[in-house]
Structure 1
Amino acid sequence: MTTLDDVLAIQKTSNILYPPTIVTPSTESKVETDTSSGTLSIGLYNSTTSNTVYAYITGLAINNNSALFLLESDGQTAYYPTNPSANGSALSANCAIALGAPGTTVNVTIPFIAGGRIWFCVGSTLTFLLNPSTSGPGLVEPSVSNTSDPNYNLSWDFCEFTYNSSQLYTNISYVDFVCLPISLTLTSTTGSTQHVSGMASDGLNTVCSNLIAQNASDGAGWDQLVITSNGSNLRALSPSNGIVFNPNLFSTYWTSYIDAVWAQYVSAPITVDTQTSWGTFTAYTSNDRTSLAFTNLGSFTKPSASDIFGANSGAFAPQATNTAQLLNIGARLDAAFNRSTLLIDADQPDNEVVSTYYQNSITNHYARIVHAANLDGRGYCFPYDDVGPDGGADQSGFVSDGTPANLLVTVGGGNAFARREVQQPTGKAMKRSLSWEDDVKALVTVEEDTDRDLEKGLHPKLLNENASSSEAKRFKLPAIVERFVGPQLAKLQASPFYMQRVARLIALISQLLLSILSLSIRTIVSRVFIVVFFLLFYFLGLLPHGTNGETQRRVLESMAAASGNGTTLV
Structure 2
Amino acid sequence: MIDRRLFLGGASLAAATPLLGAIAAPEGSRLLRPASATTNLGALPVSVTNDSGRYGDDEVLVYIVGTDLTTGRHCRVDADGTPHPVSLDDNTDDGYTDYSIPLGALPDDMTLPYMSGRIYLALGGKLGIRIVEDGDGNPALQLPAGWVEDDDAFDVLHDTVEFTHNEDGMFCNTSMVDQFSVPIGIRLTGDADQSTGFLLPGGRDAIFETLSADPVFSPLVFDDHRVIAPGHALDVGLFPNDYFDPYVDRVWSRYTDTDLRVTTNAGTFTGRVQGDELLFDGGVAPIPRPTTRDVFFCDGALAAPNDGITGPVAAIVGAALNRSTLADIAEQPTDDPAGFYLDEIANHYAAVFHEHTEDGKAYGFAFDDVADFASYVQDHAPAGLEITLTPF
Is the Cα contact below 8 Å between 2:120 and 2:158 reproduced in 1?
yes
Pick the aligned partner of 1:43 from 8, 22, 47: 47
Aligned to 1:352: 335
Please tell me whether residue 294 in structure 1 is matched to residue 280 in structure 2. Answer: yes
| TM-score, with structure 1 as normaliser | 0.59
Deviation at 1:244, TM superposition (A): 2.0
Please tell me whether residue 152 in structure 1 is matched to residue 154 in structure 2. Answer: yes
Sort the Cα spacing of 1:202 and 1:180 in 2 relative to 1 into closer, same or farther, 3 A.
farther
The DSSP-based 3-state class of the residue aligned with 1:100 is: helix
Pick the aligned partner of 2:260 from 261, 266, 270: 270
Sort the Cα spacing of 1:309 and 1:131 in 2 relative to 1 into closer, same or farther, 3 A.
same
Pick the aligned partner of 1:308 from 295, 307, 313: 295
Aligned to 1:76: 81
Aligned to 2:382: 404
Pick the aligned partner of 1:163 from 157, 165, 174: 165
Deviation at 1:200, TM superposition (A): 4.8
Whole-angstrom CA distance in 1 between matches of 2:340 and 2:44? 36
The DSSP-based 3-state class of the residue aligned with 2:159 is: strand
Aligned to 1:206: 206
Whole-angstrom CA distance in 2 between matches of 1:357 and 1:97? 40
Please tell me whether residue 373 in structure 1 is matched to residue 356 in structure 2. Answer: yes
Sort the Cα spacing of 1:77 and 1:112 in 2 relative to 1 into closer, same or farther, 3 A.
closer
Alignment of 1:96-107 (within 5 A): 96-100=100-104, 107=109
Alignment of 1:378-389 (within 5 A): 378-388=361-371
Q: Percentage identity across aligned positions? A: 27
Unaligned runs of 5+ in 2: 1-5, 18-37
Deviation at 1:165, TM superposition (A): 0.5
What is the aligned length? 361
Is the Cα contact below 8 Å between 1:181 and 1:201 reproduced in 2?
no
Query: Match for 1:172: what amino acid?
Result: T
Deviation at 1:387, TM superposition (A): 0.8
Whole-angstrom CA distance in 2 between matches of 1:411 and 1:99? 11
Deviation at 1:9, TM superposition (A): 7.5
Deviation at 1:197, TM superposition (A): 4.2
Deviation at 1:8, TM superposition (A): 4.0
The DSSP-based 3-state class of the residue aligned with 2:269 is: strand
Deviation at 1:363, TM superposition (A): 0.9
Whole-angstrom CA distance in 2 between matches of 1:325 and 1:377? 28
Sort the Cα spacing of 1:118 and 1:6 in 2 relative to 1 into closer, same or farther, 3 A.
closer
Whole-angstrom CA distance in 1 between matches of 2:189 and 2:219? 39
Higher relative contact order, chain-length normalized (CA < 8 Å, sep 6+): 2
Alignment of 1:536-551 (within 5 A): none
Whole-angstrom CA distance in 2 between matches of 1:259 and 1:384? 21
Residues 186-224 of structure 1, C-alpha deviations (whole Å, 9 max, x = no match) = 111x5x411114225743321121012232xxxxx2111
Deviation at 1:268, TM superposition (A): 1.8
Deviation at 1:373, TM superposition (A): 1.8
| TM-score, with structure 2 as normaliser | 0.84
Whole-angstrom CA distance in 2 between matches of 1:182 and 1:360? 29
Pick the aligned partner of 1:177 from 176, 179, 189: 179
Deviation at 1:35, TM superposition (A): 11
More strand per residue: 2
Sort the Cα spacing of 1:86 and 1:209 in 2 relative to 1 into closer, same or farther, 3 A.
closer
Sort the Cα spacing of 1:222 and 1:85 in 2 relative to 1 into closer, same or farther, 3 A.
closer
Unaligned runs of 5+ in 1: 17-33, 216-220, 389-393, 415-570
What's the Cα RMSD here?
2.9
Aligned to 1:490: none
The DSSP-based 3-state class of the residue aligned with 2:338 is: helix
Is the Cα contact below 8 Å between 1:185 and 1:196 reproduced in 2?
yes
Sort the Cα spacing of 1:119 and 1:201 in 2 relative to 1 into closer, same or farther, 3 A.
farther
